[in-house]
């Protein structure tokens, strides 16, 4: 068994080609759009940090189960809070 990977390594790998292309294709897929819509509906469609309803996005809190996320892997954020999260 290899050592556990830290989230930074996983993200770094995700944004290398061809992973980057696969990830962007996924974000435009029917599956992701349905998952995103379901999470928005279940949680009220407001930022889970500041309660804004302006420019709402779904943020991956972890990439551990990328392409097969659980609802707990996702967080609804407004544009501003999402940008703060990513620095």
Q: Is 2 within a domain? A: no
Give the pLDDT mean for 53-57. 96
pLDDT for the residue 83: 93
Give the pLDDT mean for 46-59. 97
More confident residue, 23 or 72: 72
What is the number of domains present in the chain?
1
Q: Determine the Cα–Cα distance for residues 79 and 57; give it in Å rounded to an integer.
A: 7
Dihedral (Cα; 6, 84, 61, 19), 10-degree rounding: -70
Give the pLDDT mean for 20-27. 88
Give the pLDDT mean for 12-38. 85
Question: Residue 65: which domain range?
Answer: 7-85
Q: Is 31 within a domain? A: yes
Reduced to 3 states (helix: H, G, I; strand: E, B; else coil), residue 74 is strand
Q: Is 1 within a domain? A: no
Q: Is 69 within a domain? A: yes
Q: Determine the Cα–Cα distance for residues 46 and 77; give it in Å rounded to an integer.
A: 7
36 has pLDDT over 70: yes
Q: Is 61 within a domain? A: yes
pLDDT for the residue 1: 46
Cis-peptide, bond into residue 18, ω within 30° of zero: yes
């Amino acid at each position: 068994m290899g050592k556990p990977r830290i989230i930074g390594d996983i993200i770094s790998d995700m944004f290398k080609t061809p992973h980057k292309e696969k990830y962007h294709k996924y974000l435009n897929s029917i599956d992701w759009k349905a998952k995103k819509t379901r999470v928005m509906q279940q949680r009220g469609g407001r930022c889970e940090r500041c309660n804004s309803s302006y420019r709402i996005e779904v943020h991956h809190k972890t990439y551990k189960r990328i392409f097969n996320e659980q609802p707990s892997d996702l967080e609804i954020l407004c544009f501003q809070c999402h940008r703060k999260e990513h620095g």
